[in-house]
Chain A
Amino acid sequence: MNEWLDKHMGRLFLAPAVTLILVFSIFPLVASLIMAFARIRFSAGGFKVRFVGWRNFEKQFFGSEQFHLIGTFTQISLLGWIFGLSVTAALLWWIWGYVRRHFTWFGFVGRLITLAMGLGITWLFAGTLLSGNLFGTIGTTLFYVLVGCAIQFVIGTALAYACSKNIRGKTAFRVIFFVPMMITPIGVGYIFRMMADTTKGPFSNVWQWVGLGDFSWAADPWAARIFIVIADSWQWIPFVFIMMLAAFESVSRDLTEAAELDGAGPWQSFREITWPHVLPIAATVMLIRAIEAFKIVDLPNIMTSGGPGIATESVSLQAYYAWRALDLGSASAIAYILLFVTVVICVSFFNLVVLARVRKQP
């Protein structure tokens, strides 16, 4: 018995984790895929499943739910054409460069998928936003991810760099800056609803003074979206901060001091020594943040319930509403679309940004 245990201990160590993930993550993933191709009706004592092929997906992309997921399309404006065509040209140029220089089938197919996703998003953007049409939940989610991550990265990194300097009260700053991350997203949502209240909130006098006393954040699409990004950033800048602080502190002080002895200014030593050292870490941190940002659901749900209209609804929230309306097939299809977009974007980022740096290193 003991011998057997000893021999298989390696497997027994890994088995619980793998089993749990298989049962509670891979199996639901497969089941969800099956459901995405079915209509499910609840009846007394159970539910009935009828397979409908691609219809759930068709509805999202071309049918009655098109406006909801990807947006309304009429005519593409001039600006839209210019933007769309130029980005398309740039993307094609990029893939042509890859084909010319070093071609492998695996890399080529991977880049083709990236290209398709890039083109899809470009024309989505050109056809909705740049042509003055409304965009759907995918556009909103991408807005949260891109704008939110950019803000969080810039402010989080700046704060981390400031705190990595030789200053007083470092520990206090570190503890205080970490606090927002520990508050439940639901709480953050409600706190920011209080903050943004233009009649009874703490800044109402400022709003009155600017002449926006009757302005309601939640009723204007862009104001509502920005408001959610601000709340999201307030919560997640601490994460970027703490990771980047660790990165900055891992830069050896001898190196920067040696550079300054040799006559490099602070800006130069930052650009030449510190930044290249922390860049790979920054890429990883942003990848993690982007993965989490794609899942955003609690903040829009609490702060605006997806309104006004569908202006602040994220893809996750749309899937949740579909589930609440007992449309399980659509909910699964929407969730799968989100998964596909997330995986393609994150894997592309990982492959083209994070790994590219690793490959370049000797």
Chain B
Amino acid sequence: MSTQLTPKRSIFEAPAIGQMSMATKIVLYTLLLIWTAFVLFPIYWLIITSFKDAADVNQGPFFLPFVDFQPSLHAWKELFVTDYEDTLRAYFNSIIISLSATGLSVLIGSMAAYALSRVAYAPNLITILFFIFLLAMTGVSIGIYGVDWRLAAAVAVALFFFLARAVGNLYQFRLHNGDILFWIISQRILAPIVVVVPIYMMFQTVRLLDTHIAIIITYAVVNMPIVVWLMYDFFNSIPRDLEESAQLDGATMIGTFREIVLPLSRTGLAATTLLVMILSWNEYLLALFLSTTKAQTMPILVAAMNAGERGILWWSMSVAIIVMIIPVVALAIVLQKYISKGLLVGAVKG
């Protein structure tokens, strides 16, 4: 405060406010470049491996195409000409599944997040526990005692509607929005391995194993907590004046949501969509359980390239991995400016 700025400047002087000294800059750029190399080199190796012959891979490391080895397109040809049926089927499966799962998850999840941020709920815990109890009993009677699932579901629904109010009046223990939100987000802790076996059996019972629907629904549910968490914070950060005036004009909740809230939250939606998209595009364990041939996704196809008698076909595998990366990277570059902005809201508010 009391010091005066001196007009003299020399190279030994501390840099101006907000600037960095030369030494700091050098250290910074060195670090960043080293990390860039660490990130990019494996990807570079992946790309050149996809153009190598078996001999080029097996006879030791060759680094530069046209200098060390002659690139060939044989792996690409094999995957897209010889085995094109398998590849394209897995590819389209992956596209359909991840797009639909993302769409479903983002739609339902953001509806729930919006409702949680705007409407006050106070459900009774006892009623909910009763519902879960009925659900479990239904499952047990179908799974263990072999009751027809339509019958069991009908009986359960009927029982719920007749007894819900009576059971709920036994004891009042009200949950609030915070509890519901925490409950939904906490579902993310669940490791897929805990729930995948019952899910497998459920889809087996209704004969949906190895179909798109089974995987789409499962992915949508698994990723829903992320959507709700990110979008809840995002909706909370949107000013409510517009919605309130729309409601005064007689707009319904669904109208307000579609016409006003969704357009305003494009950033958050983009970031969330990208994240969920990446997660469902790359998911392996659930797909391994729920698909065999018809609904096989790309990660399964890649993993299956290990199984042949010829050992691992590194070149084909590289092609498959590259083909898998391209759409996500393209999407990420398109949505690049939204990623940090969209995630920021969720992360900073925590």
Contact = CB atoms under 8 A, between A and B. Distances in A.
A190 interface: yes
Nearest to A161: B28
A181 B328 CA distance: 10
Given A182-B278, A182-B328, A49 B144 contact: yes
Given A17-B184, A182-B332, A9 B253 contact: yes
A287 B158 CA distance: 42
Contacts of B252: 5-6, 9
Interface string B10-43: 0000000111100011001101100110111111
A17 B278 CA distance: 21
B131 interface: yes
A362 interface: no
Contact of B108 (A16, A32, A49, A177): A16
Interface of B is mostly: helix
B339 interface: yes
A243 B303 CA distance: 30
B70 interface: no
A273 interface: no
Interface in B182-198: 184, 187-198
B303 A302 contact: yes
A295 B196 CA distance: 13
Identify which of A166, A194, A205 gathers the most chain B CB atoms within 10 Å of its CB.
A194
Interface in A137-163: 155, 158-159, 162-163
A2 B8 CA distance: 77
Nearest to B43: A179
A227 to B, nearest CB: 13
B92 interface: no
A285 B111 contact: no
B344 A250 contact: yes
Interface residues of B, number: 101
Q: How would you classify the secondary structure of chain A's contact residues: helix, strand, loop or mixed? A: helix
Nearest to B203: A24
B193 A204 contact: no
A186 B304 CA distance: 10
B57 A179 contact: no
Among A21, A158, A166, A178, max chain B CB count under 10 A is at A21
Interface string A189-224: 011111100011111110000000000000000000
Given A16-B111, A18-B184, 16 more contacts: A6-B253, A9-B252, A13-B119, A14-B119, A17-B224, A21-B184, A22-B132, A27-B132, A31-B136, A35-B197, A162-B32, A167-B29, A175-B332, A186-B303, A242-B339, A294-B191
Sorted from nearest, which 7 A-B pairs have the closest CB atoms? A13-B115, A17-B112, A28-B198, A10-B119, A28-B195, A31-B198, A184-B282
Interface of A: 5-6, 9-11, 13-14, 16-18, 20-32, 34-35, 46, 49, 155, 158-159, 162-163, 165-167, 171, 173-187, 190-195, 199-205, 234, 242-243, 245-247, 249-250, 253, 257, 260-262, 266, 280-281, 283-285, 291, 294-295, 297-298, 302, 316, 319-320, 323, 328, 331-332, 335-336, 338-339, 342-343, 346, 354
